[in-house]
Every structure is written in C-alpha cells, then in structure tokens.
C-alpha cells in the first residue's frame, strides 16, 4: 500500500511539474513590453503600417491619448507564448515615446515579433492587438511614395 501511495505521489508531482513547465512559459503582453514603455517614457504616438499590403500601402498615426490608451489597454492582457514564427506580413506597430521608440509586428495568424524580430511569440486566445488595429479603419490613410 505504501508503494502505491509513493508512486502515486511521485506521478502527481511529475504531472504538476510538467504542466507547470509548459504553462509557466506564457506571459502577458504587458509583461513583454520593455520596462521603458511606461509613464516615464510616455508614448506620444503610435504609427501602424501595413506590411505587404494588398493594394496601396496604408498607415495610421495615433496621437490622441484616448486612442493610444485603447491600443495599450486592449492588448495588455493578451496571453503570449514563446514561438519561433518570423512575422513577415501583417502590421508594423511603432510606439514613439518621449525618449525613444519601440517596434513590433503582428499578423492575422496570431504571431507577434518584438525587439527587432529577436523575440517571437504566439498569441493565445483572441488577438486583441489586431482587433483594435482593425477597429481604427476610419483613420487609415494611403501612403505616398515619399512616405515609404
């Protein structure tokens, strides 16, 4: 009886460790943003560009605090898992702070690249960042040749 109890306990510990290892790799979007994207480095503008657009290239410039907050708040609780997919299409998002800038790329398949394509993530669940980007459809403007 003791052997069965010890074996059951070892199996339970192993299962918890195994599940915890995989679940522990997930992070929230807000956790993977650089620490300098905060109140001290207030974001003044978010520029969003289509990457490999279907048609004339378009961009959005968000400078109103409400719009910037919508982007940050909508995506801050997205759950991310380390991935290995390089994002080559979708949207390039440039956060322009008062001191420096930061870029990321997100695609429709739920992949996210950060830190100059050095860090790759898979979005678990709903892609709130893509959803909020697409919600700004009335703010898209065609890009001129000199803007590219």
pLDDT in the model for residue 46? 92
Angle between helical axes of 128-135 and 65-75 (0-180°, round to 10): 150
pLDDT in the model for residue 48? 93
Residue 7 lies in a domain: no
Sign of the dihedral through C-alpha 144, 66, 106, 35: positive
Contact 119/36 with Cβ under 8 angstroms?
no
Residue 21 lies in a domain: no
Does 40 have pLDDT greater than 50? Answer: no
Residue 19 lies in a domain: no
Residue 77 lies in a domain: yes
Residue 2 lies in a domain: no
Residue 15 lies in a domain: no
pLDDT in the model for residue 14? 54
Average pLDDT over every residue of 12-37: 61
Three-class DSSP category at 40 = coil
Does 23 have pLDDT greater than 80? Answer: no
Does 2 have pLDDT greater than 60? Answer: yes
Residue 1 lies in a domain: no
pLDDT in the model for residue 57? 82
Q: Which two tokens stand for residue 34?
A: 């650089």
Average pLDDT over every residue of 35-41: 55
pLDDT of 47-90, one tens digit each?
999 887 677 888 999 999 899 889 888 888 889 898 888 888 88
pLDDT in the model for residue 20? 47
- Domain enclosing residue 140, as ranges: 26-147
Residue 12 lies in a domain: no
pLDDT of 9-22, one tens digit each?
556 555 555 544 45
Instruction: Quote the pTM value.
Output: 0.74
Domain count, the chain: 1
pLDDT of 89-126, one tens digit each?
889 999 888 778 888 899 999 998 887 767 888 999 99
* CATH code assigned at 92: 3.30.1490
Three-class DSSP category at 82 = strand
């Amino acid at each position: 009886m003791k052997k069965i109890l010890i074996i059951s306990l070892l199996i339970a510990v192993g299962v918890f460790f195994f599940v915890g290892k995989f679940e522990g790799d997930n992070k929230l979007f807000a956790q993977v943003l650089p620490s300098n994207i905060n109140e001290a480095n207030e974001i003044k503008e978010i520029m969003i560009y289509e990457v490999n657009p279907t048609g004339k290239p378009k961009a959005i410039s968000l400078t109103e605090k409400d719009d910037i907050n919508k982007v940050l708040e909508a995506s801050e609780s997205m759950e991310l898992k380390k991935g290995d997919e390089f994002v080559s299409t979708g949207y390039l998002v440039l956060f322009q702070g008062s001191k420096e800038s930061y870029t990321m790329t997100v695609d429709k398949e739920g992949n996210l690249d950060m830190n100059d394509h050095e860090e790759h993530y898979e979005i678990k669940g709903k892609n709130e960042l893509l959803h909020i980007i697409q919600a700004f459809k009335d703010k898209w403007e065609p890009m001129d040749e000199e803007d590219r």
